[in-house]
Amino acid sequence: MKFVIEKTDPFEPQVRRLLEQSHALMTALFPQEACHFLDLTELQAPHIHLFCAFGGEHAFGTGALALMPYGGEIKSMFTDPNARGQGVADAMLTHLIDVARTKGIQEVYLETGVGLEAAHRLYHRHGFSECGPFGAYPDSPYSIFMHKTLTP
């Protein structure tokens, strides 16, 4: 599958569709207090860099890097179910880590949900390891927190 990862706007129709699919999945799997996704307006904040993997006119996956006081935070990772297993998530995560490096970030964090085994395997493959809650996240039985130290 050929695709290009580009900075994008959450209200671009194809991107919005993916983000809404992601949000619907999270709210179906977890109680509301355990859903920590950013809404479309929050994804437009100046410290958030949202990207999409596009192939032609089709959006295959999203991912964002939030620039936070404690480092970078990976947000909004989602791949269209029809594009899974084709390298979209790997490419997106690599891109987000590269963006973090270019911005001088040394620590990258993420929060993901329990039971999302494919996501856990992806993050482990990219060198993330489990850690405790960070930022304003509460400790939760629904969350897994992960961290990666970036080398220059």
User: Amino acid identity of 69?
Assistant: P
- What is the pLDDT at residue 142? 97
Give pLDDT tens digits for 106-144: 999 999 999 999 999 999 999 999 999 999 999 999 999
Cβ partners under 8 Å of residue 121, min gap 6: none
pTM: 0.95
For residue 80, the domain's CATH number is 3.40.630.30
Contacts of residues 29-33 at CB distance under 8 Å and 24 or more positions apart, as own/partner, are: 29/113, 29/115, 29/116, 30/113, 30/142, 31/142, 33/140
Query: Where does the pLDDT of residue 37 fall: very low under 50, low under 70, confident under 90, or very high at 90 and above?
Result: very high
Q: pLDDT band at 59, cuts 50/70/90?
A: very high
Question: Domain of 17?
Answer: 4-149
**How high is the pLDDT of residue 151?**
86
> In the predicted model, what is the mean pLDDT of residues 49-61?
94
Q: Which two tokens stand for residue 74?
A: 């990976």
| Cα distance between residue 64 and residue 110, in whole Å | 11
